[in-house]
Structure 1
Amino acid sequence: MNSIHDLGGMHGMGPLPFDENEPMFHEDWERRICGAHLLTLMTGLAVADEARHSMERIEALHWLASPYYEHWLDGTETYLQEKGIATAEELASGKASAPLPEWAARLEALEPEAVTKMFTTNHPVTGESKTPPRYKEGDRVRSLNINPKTHTRLPRYTRGKPCTIIAYRGACLYADARSQGDYEALDHTYTVRFEAADLWGPDAGGKDAVYIDLYETYLEDL
């Protein structure tokens, strides 16, 4: 969707501060929010693409004024309410006023220590597609000009622009569909190259390019 989270290609957002020895968490509440958020995903309550879409819907000014892990907190609260796990009143009070939905009560509990494995082990994102890939290395294609109100991994600044297939990366879980509950959806993926001039015009560097991994669904024949 087109929201404040998608800032790629924009000017005027100010410098990015870098701390050479920056810790993973600046305050203890960030560590706890990170752990609680990941545990909801690991128990099967939601998938990462649903979580991302919940954060994309944060009001723009609040997004810009709030720190990174507050986005995680706000997003987690959103899908807890949407899935019937908690109400706004329960989240505010910290106390449950009703039993969990039957389906949620059957979820298997995980120990907090399991978060360590989540941080250090990649989870599988590939699968076996029933159809062959449409494109091959060297094909010239164009990204679609789409503006969905739901989750998408197609950056706004690349939409409607020509690009070149650099490599086929296999069939991967399709984030757009998974964010809407189709958890087994797959789509072919490719690394594509956008020439900077095609993205930003004559002000771009003549030798510059941007490489992005995109789903086949985002591409059309040129």
Structure 2
Amino acid sequence: MRSAADDIDIGKFFAWAARPRETPARSEELHRIVRRYLDEPDFASAVDHVFSGAGLDLRVDGRDGIVVTARHHSLLRLTAGDIIKRAQPSHRSVIGAVLLAVARTAYPEPGMVDDPDRVAVFTTQSVVDMLDRTAQRLADESGSDSDVDDDLVEGWRRWLDLPQARPNARRRSAGDRPGAVNRICKLLVESGYLNARGDTDGGTWTARPAFRHAVAALAEDSDLYALVNDLPEPIGLDPADPA
């Protein structure tokens, strides 16, 4: 029978789940409730039922802590579309393209999304290079006799409209292509999906477990899932192409 102490710890589970940057190694209290979940099946079942009622899926790990993803019907789900709606119309396609390119750069092969031991490391410049190649190729392939969707081409042209980074600039610009990528990456850092690792190539980032699960779970059974996992086919980009 569930006790008052169990209910309190379930509440703490919700509180810690809302702090995705925290890990058991950094907090004794988080370590304690994670161990309860892993060692006590009855407690874990009670936690799962409560989270399931909120439309949330749990992944609990002794190293990574609590990783939560929201199902498509959950009132707590925040999607890329929610982020894009806050932006100006002219910026929305750029935000969507950057989010997709970050996911594709972090996980260039489909199997990597399912590998919990892989540390996904990428740079701002690698994301910029992918976006440059993709947008330019679509622009080159578009035309009156092309079967490339005009709306798709126009969306990617928004990326090409952004200025390139100035060589040897002393200050970084928030309005150029690397600046656009860095803004999205910093948002993902604040949300607990990425870690900022350094300044190499405009910025170096590592994907946290929450990002890997988000790429797999939030895009599951959708067109976005196909784009993330099979990006070369839909947009004509060969990951083996030279930068």
Q: TM-score, normalised by structure 2?
A: 0.21
Q: TM-score, normalised by structure 1?
A: 0.22
Considering fraction of residues, name the structure with more helix: 2
